[in-house]
Chains A and B, each alone.
Chain A
Amino acid sequence: MDVNRRDVLKVLLGGTAMTAVAASTAHVAKAEPDVVPPLEDAVGLLYDATKCIGCRACMPACANANGLPPDRGTSHGMYMQPEALNSLTKNLIKLYVAPDGHERSFIKQQCMHCVDPACVSGCPMQALHKEKYGVVGWDAHLCIGCRYCQIACPFNIPKFEWYRVNPKIVKCELCRHIVGKTTSQPACTQVCPTHAVIYGNRSDLLAEAHRRIKLRPGYYFEDRVYGETEGGGTQCLILSHVDYSDLGLPKMGPLSNASRVRRVTNIIYQGFLTPVVIYGGLVAIIRDRWKTHLAHVAHERANHDDKGIHA
C-alpha cells in the first residue's frame, strides 16, 4: 500500500479531531477541573499594614529562628539592613511612600504560601511541595537547583544562594521546623508588638480580616483582603489602606497560573492519550514509507550498478 500526502493529513486530522472530542467531553464532565480549593486546615498569616509600626522586630526574629546570619546590606556592617529578600532574608518589612509624600504604608514581604503555588507546580522533583496545613516547604535532597521556582513565582519570593557550592533555595516555610514542636507559632508573629501580623487557620484569618473591614468601611483599600482570591488565593493575607499594587503586590485574577498551565496541558495531552495516538499513527505511516523506501533504493542500485551491497 502506498500512502500519499492526503492519507497523512487524514491521520493527523483524525488524531486532532479525537483529541478535540475528548477535550470537549472532558470539559462537559468537569466544569472547573483544575481549580484547587484551600485545605480545610490551611494555616497562614494575616498582616495588617495599618497596625504595623515598622519596628522590624520580626526580621531578626525570623533570621534567628532560621539560623541565618544578619544581612548587613547597605548599613556599612552596623546592623541588619537588607535591600530586598535574599538568601539571608526570608522576611522583610519595607516602607512605601507615595510620590506626593502623603500616603504611606509598611509592607511585609515573605512567601505567601499560595493555595495553588506556581513554584510547586513547576518544581520538577517535588523539592518544593505542599505539606501539612498547606505550608509550602523545600527539601534539599530533591532540589536540582534549576531555579524554575524563581521564574514561576509571581511574588518573586524564592531566593538562591548564588555564592555557594551547595546552594539552597531560601524562602519562608512558616517556621515549619519549630511550629508544633518548640513553639506554637512562627517567629515573626511571636515577636510582633502590635499584632500587626498574626498566625492562624486561613479561614479564621479571613473572617478576622473581613470583620476589620466591616468595622471601618472605606478604610482598607477597596474594602478587600489581598490574597483571598488573587492567583487562586494565598494562605498569607494582607490588609492595607494603600493600593496593593503600589505595595508591590501583583494584580492577579482568581485563577492560579498553575491551574492555567494544567488546563493547557490537559487540552494538549488528554492524559497522555494524544502522544500515544499520534505515535501509533506515525508508526503506521512510517512503516509504509520505510517499505517503499527500501524498494526504491534497491531499484536505484540495480539501475546504477552501485558498489553498495544489500543489507
Chain B
Amino acid sequence: MTEKWVQCIRLKEPLVTKPFKIMVGLAGFAMLLGILREVSGLGYVTGLNDGYAWGLFKNWNVTALTALGSGGYAVAVMAWIFNERKFHPIMRTAVLTSLVGYGTGMVALGIDVGRPWNFIHILNPKTWNHHSVLLEVAVCMTAYVILALNFENMPPFLERMHNSGDPKKSEQALKIFHFMQATFPFWIALAFVLPSMHQSSLGSLMFLAGDRVHPLWQTARLPLLYLLMAYILGFACVLLVLILSTYVWKLGWDAAILSRLALVMSWLTLWWLVLQFVDLAYRGVFEMAFAFDRYSIVFLVQTLLLLLPAQALQVESLRSKPGSLFRLTLILVIGGLLYRFTPTSIAFIPLGHYTYFPSVIEILMSVGFTALAVVLFLYAVKRFAILPASRGKIAAEAAIRPFDTL
C-alpha cells in the first residue's frame, strides 16, 4: 500500500528506548576516549603511523560520513533546482541527516588533529595558505554547517518554539521565520555552492599525493568523481534512513518519492561508472583494472558493488518494494564508501614498510561518533516534526504547523 507524503510529523514515541540507550552509551564512551586521546597523544590510542598518517577518523568519520551527509544537498537540488516538488516533504529528513553527519564528522576531525588549539588561527585569514585544498575543505565545511545547514534545519525548531504556548516566544519564532522567508534564496544557494566546493575538494586533496595513490584511483578528475559520489551517497543515505524509519515507526510508504529518488541515484551511479572507465581509458591504465592484483581486485569489487545494484534499481518492481530497495541501496552504499575510502587507505602507497589497521580504541571512537549522529537524529525526530507523513496522519495531529512551507 503506497501513501502520499505531504508534510512532516513529530514521532509521538518515547525517546529513551533500549537501542537509544545503547547508542548514547557508545557515544558517551567515545567522548570519554576522546578526552583520553587529548591527554595522551594519537599514537597511544590509534593505529596511525608515519606511513599511514590518516586513518579511520578521516576516512570514515570525515570523508565517508560527510558524503553520506550530502543528502540535504542532493535532495535540495532535486527539489529546488529541478523543481520536483514532491521532494519537499522529505527535505527536513534530508537536511537533518546532513547536519548530524557533518556535525559528528567535525567532532571527529577535532579529535584527529594533533594540535587542535592552533585551530584558533583559522579566524585570522592572514595565516591562511590560499593554495591549500585542505584549508578550502575546512573553511567551506565549517561555513556550510554554520551558515547553511543550521539555516535549513531551523523550521522544525521554530515551529516548536511557536507552539510552545508562550506568546512572546511564538512572536519571536514568527519574526525569525519572516527573516528566513525574505532571505531564503541567498542561504539555499549557499547550501549548494559550499558543498559543491568542499565535496569536490575532498577529491583534489588526494590529487596532491600524486603517485602515492594507485593509478586506478589517482586522476585529475578526482574532484568531479568525488562530487558525483557525494550526490549518490547523499541520495542513498536519505533512502536508507527513510526506509528504516517507515519500517520502524510505520510511517506509510510513498513509492512515488522513494522510487524516483532510487532511479535518480541509479542513473547517477551508471553515469559515474561510465565517467570512471572513460577516465581510465583516457589515461591509458585500463588494463590495470584487470591485472588481478590486490588493487585490481578491490577496484573490481568496488565497481561491481556499484554497477549491480545500480542496474537492478533500473527495474521498477525492484525499486518499489521496501525490502529490495533497502538491500540494493545498502550494497550501493558499500561500493560508494569503498571508493571514498580507498585513495587514503588501500590504494595509498607510502614509501617504506608501513601497515595500518585501526586500533580497538580507534574503532570504538569511530563507532561512537557515528552513534552520536544516530542519537542526534533520534532525538530530533522525536522532539520535532521531521519525518514525512501522509495527509491522514497529519490530520490526526493537533499541532499547528505554520512553517510547513519548508
Contact A282 B178 (CB under 8 A): no
A10 at the interface (CB under 8 A from B): no
Query: In the complex, what's the smallest C-beta–C-beta distance from B264 to chain A, in angstroms?
Result: 13
Q: Which residues of A contact B88 (CB under 8 A)?
A: 293
Smallest CB gap from B110: residue in A: A144
Q: Is the CB of B405 within 8 A of A279?
A: no
Q: Are B190 and A279 in contact (CB under 8 A)?
A: yes
Segment 148-177 of A: residues with Cβ below 8 Å from B: 148, 150-152, 154-156, 159-167
How far apart are A251's CB and chain B's nearest CB, in angstroms? 8
B281 proximity list for chain A (CB < 8 A): none
Residues on A with beta carbons closer than 8 Å to the beta carbon of B80: 285-286, 289
Chain B nearest Cβ from A83, distance in angstroms: 9
CB of B39 within 8 A of CB of A165, answer yes
Chain A interface extent, by class: 35 or more
Q: Does B66 contact A (CB under 8 A)?
A: no
Which chain A positions have C-beta within 8 A of B350?
A: 156
Residues B129 and A124 in contact, CB atoms below 8 Å apart:
yes
Q: Are B41 and A155 in contact (CB under 8 A)?
A: no
Expressed in whole angstroms, the Cα–Cα distance for A174 and B80 within the complex equals 55
Is B400 an interface position by the 8 A CB rule? yes
> Are A268 and B223 in contact, CB atoms less than 8 angstroms apart?
yes
The main secondary structure of chain B at its interface with chain A is helix
Q: Does A234 contact B (CB under 8 A)?
A: no
Contact across chains for B212 and A264 when beta carbons are under 8 A apart: no
Alpha-carbon gap, A142 to B193, bound state (A) = 28
Q: Does A125 contact B (CB under 8 A)?
A: yes
CB distance B115 to A166 under 8 Å?
yes
Bound-state Cα–Cα, A124 to B121, Å: 10
Q: Among B180-188, B268-276, B321-329, which stretch is in contact with chain A?
A: B180-188
A8 engages B81 (CB within 8 Å): yes
A264 to B51, CA, bound (A): 26
With most chain B CB atoms within 10 A of its CB, the pick from A3, A166, A252, A286 is A286
Q: Which of A126, A141, A248 contacts B352 (CB 8 A)?
A: A248
Question: Is B210 among interface residues, defined by CB-CB distance under 8 A?
Answer: yes
Q: Which of A126, A144, A156, A261 is packed against the most chain B CB atoms within 10 Å?
A: A144
A250 to B213, CA, bound (A): 13
Write the B180-210 contact mask toward A (1 if CB under 8 angstroms, else 0).
0100111011101100110010001111111
Question: Would you give 13 A-B contacts (Cβ < 8 Å), ordered by A?
Answer: A122-B208, A123-B129, A125-B122, A148-B134, A151-B208, A152-B209, A156-B51, A161-B114, A166-B115, A261-B131, A279-B189, A283-B189, A289-B80
Q: Which residues of A contact B (CB under 8 A)?
A: 3-5, 8, 84-87, 118, 120-127, 141-148, 150-152, 154-156, 159-167, 231, 248, 250-252, 257-258, 260-262, 264-265, 268, 275, 278-279, 282-287, 289-290, 293-294, 296-297, 304, 306-311
Closest 5 CB pairs of A and B: A145-B114, A162-B43, A150-B53, A145-B115, A124-B135
Apart from A161-B114, A268-B223, A278-B193: 12 A-B pairs, beta carbons within 8 A: A84-B353, A142-B127, A144-B116, A154-B212, A165-B40, A165-B41, A257-B208, A264-B223, A279-B189, A293-B85, A307-B398, A311-B405
